[in-house]
Amino acid sequence: MNSPIFEILFIHNKLNGSLERPVYLQLAEIILLSIKEGKLKTGQKLPSSRDFASFLDINRITVSKAFEELQNQGWLESFTGRGTFVSSHIPEIKPEKLQKQSNRTQKNSGFIIEKKPYLENSYFVPKTNLHFDDGFPDPKLAPLKELYRAYRNQLTRSGLYDKFGSYGNPDGSEYYKNAISQHLNETRGLKTTSKNILSVRGTVMGVNLVCNALINPGDIIVTGVPGWRRAENNFLHAKAKHIGISVDEHGLVVEELRKICQKQKIRMVYVTSHHHYPTTVSLRIDRRLELLKLANEYGFIIFEDDYDFDFHYSNRPLLPLASADENGMVIYCGSFSKSFSPAFRMGYLAAPENVIEHLTNVRVLLDRQGDHILDNAMGEIINDGTVQRYLRKSLNIYQDKRDYFCSLLGSELGDFVNFSIPNGGMTVWTKFDTSINLEKLASKAYEKGLYFSDGKAHQYPNFNANGTRLGFASSSKEDLMKGVDILRKLI
């Protein structure tokens, strides 16, 4: 029997036995498409599996499997002695509506998305051989072999069920937290135990988690200007009110903060005290003490982002605010992304125990737990001294690169740029002459094979230094020379 349904189904569709996709699924998809397009109606009876098999010259079992697949999905229903029908539970479908959409991919949703300016990120990944980046480390120096060895050890040692058979603690593995706690106590003067540590996937996650857990709509958050846009965008997304205050050669101008505190209730101050982002200046000791005093007096949180503590060249690194915090006002955040590589998303928050407990409970809503295997591997190379040896070695190399790069900037571009040799970090905050269009310069340099930021991320309504961060740590001396030569010729 040649049912007219066969013409509906197969006038534009054919089965292909040479494809990897099973024939029964191909048949099921052809029937399903005809239902969705309204060509097969609700309650319509289909030819028998015997007739399908005869018409298509395929095995009857293949047809039965196709029917069964669609029955399981609810598109067909079968009745003993009566046959197989398009499900009566499917509402009537207008063919023209679905036909119009059937050949296009879904680029836009059918629901409204409220677009916000601070969420418009280009996620630009430069593809040049030369780069003055945002202060990334040189991956050639990172102890990748040691980290790989430690990670492999985690996969081969005993206790597989504890590692892979169930979930672990959402605040991080105990081994990693103990390693981080001891590391912070020895190197940064903190007074922590594992209960004061929360493992996070880098600084951005730490900022976002604090916003979700401790910031309510309308809360006031104060940062320095210029500052880090990624943190500021998190504050805006939390519907907080963001207030920017000045940054000078001694860091955050804390006197401006006091004046705000006298008029408004502040919930949090975000600060990069060691090397202010983006200008790299350090917060002077009197301002550090005054900031802690204000936090105690007015009850606001200090979020201390210490993104590159380990790289300070002129003297020993300044101890973080958290080391002098006697009243539990500071949430301290660190990351290994600036030590090893941005590709490794390993970081931590250090705070009073009840804060960590609260942040952990909120973290579960987003991420049941982090990567305990990677955390344990990191903990192992902290405990065996690998990280400490790497930091000592790379510190000398980065200082040498800093001196060489600053010498090049001074000798080759001295008439067009203004900068101070940074005491630490991996970038030079460089201000260009106002006659130079930094955006155009960055675009032309990119065409020549050199990437650097055009500085737009550091511009504010009342602040534009025509400056940008020129990173030196991830480049060789030869590449630094080539990059500066490109800038010299363009300028």
**CATH number for 217:** 3.40.640.10
What are the pLDDT tens digits along the chain (491 aa)? 578 888 888 888 889 888 888 999 999 999 998 888 888 889 999 999 999 999 999 999 999 999 999 999 999 999 988 999 999 888 876 655 544 444 556 778 778 888 888 888 767 788 899 999 998 988 888 888 888 888 788 777 666 545 554 456 788 888 899 999 999 999 999 999 999 999 998 899 999 999 999 999 999 999 999 999 999 999 999 999 999 999 999 999 999 999 999 999 999 999 999 999 999 999 999 999 999 999 999 999 999 999 888 888 877 778 999 999 999 999 999 988 777 777 677 889 999 999 999 999 999 888 877 677 888 888 888 899 888 898 889 999 999 999 999 999 999 999 999 999 999 899 999 999 999 999 999 999 999 999 999 999 999 998 999 999 999 999 999 999 999 999 999 99
Q: Is residue 118 part of a domain?
A: no
Whether 402 and 473 share a structural domain: yes
**355 lies in some domain:** yes
Residues 6 or more apart in contact with residue 206 via CB below 8 angstroms: 200, 333, 335, 347, 348, 349
Burial class (CB in 10 A: 0-12, 13-18, 19+), 279: buried
Q: Over the stretch 97-147, which tens digit does the pLDDT of each residue have? A: 544 444 556 778 778 888 888 888 767 788 899 999 998 988 888 888 888
Percentage of the residues of the chain whose pLDDT score is greater than 90: 62
Q: From the CB of residue 128, how many other CB atoms can be counted at a distance below 10 Å?
A: 14
Q: Do residues 332 and 404 both lie within one domain?
A: no
- pLDDT 10s digits, 195-247: 999 999 889 999 999 999 999 999 999 999 999 999 999 999 999 999 999 99
Please state, in angstroms and rounded to a whole number, the distance separating the CA atoms of residues 161 and 158. 9
List own/partner pairs for 359-366 with CB under 8 A and 24 or more apart. 359/171, 359/198, 359/209, 359/210, 359/213, 359/214, 360/170, 360/171, 360/198, 362/209, 362/212, 362/213, 363/170, 363/171, 363/198, 363/200, 363/209, 364/170, 365/212, 366/209, 366/212
Q: What share of the chain is helix, strand, coil (3-state, %, to 5)?
A: 45, 15, 40
Both 20 and 150 in one domain: the answer is no
Q: pLDDT at position 93, please?
A: 66
Among residues 388, 404, 436, the one where a domain terminates is 388
Strands 417-419 and 251-252: unpaired
Domain boundary among 388, 420, 452: 388
CA–CA gap between residue 456 and residue 445 (Å, rounded): 16
Answer for the pair 1, 52: CB distance below 8 angstroms, yes or no: no
* Residues 265 and 408 grouped into a single domain: no
Q: How many C-beta atoms lie closer than 10 Å to residue 180's C-beta?
A: 29
pTM for the model: 0.80
∠ CA 390-396-398, rounded to 5°: 90
> Domain total for the chain?
3
Judge contact between 315 and 281, C-beta under 8 A.
no
The CATH number of residue 33's host domain is: 1.10.10.10
Helix (H, G, I), strand (E, B) or coil at 224: strand
Q: Is there a single domain that holds both residue 423 and residue 468?
A: yes
397 and 265 housed in the same domain: no
In a domain, 108, yes or no: no
Residue 439 lies in a domain: yes
**CA contacts within 13 A on the Cβ side of 232:** 19
Nearest to 138 by CA among 383, 401, 374, 348: 401
Q: What is the CATH number of the domain that holds 416?
A: 3.90.1150.10
Show the tokens assigned to 178: 């103990």
What would the two tokens of residue 366 be? Answer: 């987003």
What are the φ/ψ torsions at residue 262 (nearest 5 degrees)? -70, -15
Whether 156 and 212 map to the same domain: the answer is yes
Question: H or E segment at 229?
Answer: helix 229-237
Q: Do residue 482 and residue 424 come from a single domain? A: yes
> Residue 283 in contact with residue 270, Cβ under 8 Å?
no
Same domain, 277 and 202: yes
Decide if 112 is inside a domain: no
Query: Is 123 part of a structural domain of the chain?
Result: no
Determine the pLDDT at residue 318. Answer: 82
**Shared domain check, 453 and 442:** yes
How far is the C-alpha of 91 from the C-alpha of 41, rounded, in Å?
9
CB-based contacts of 29, cutoff 8 Å, min separation 6: none
* Amino acid at position 254, single letter: V
Q: Which helix (H) or strand (E) holds 336?
A: none
Burial of 411 (0-12, 13-18, 19+ CB in 10 A): exposed
Query: In terms of residue numbers, what domain contains 366?
Result: 144-388
- 342 and 397 in a single domain? The answer is no
Last residue of a domain, one of 388, 403, 419: 388
Instruction: Give the helix ranges, DSSP H, for 328-476.
Output: 353-366, 372-383, 386-413, 438-447
Q: Give domain status of residue 124, yes or no.
A: no
Check whether residue 86 and residue 206 sit in a common domain.
no
Give the separation between CA 304 and CA 481, rounded to whole angstroms: 35
470 falls within a domain:
yes
Which two structure tokens, joined as six digits, stand for 126?
A: 């430069």
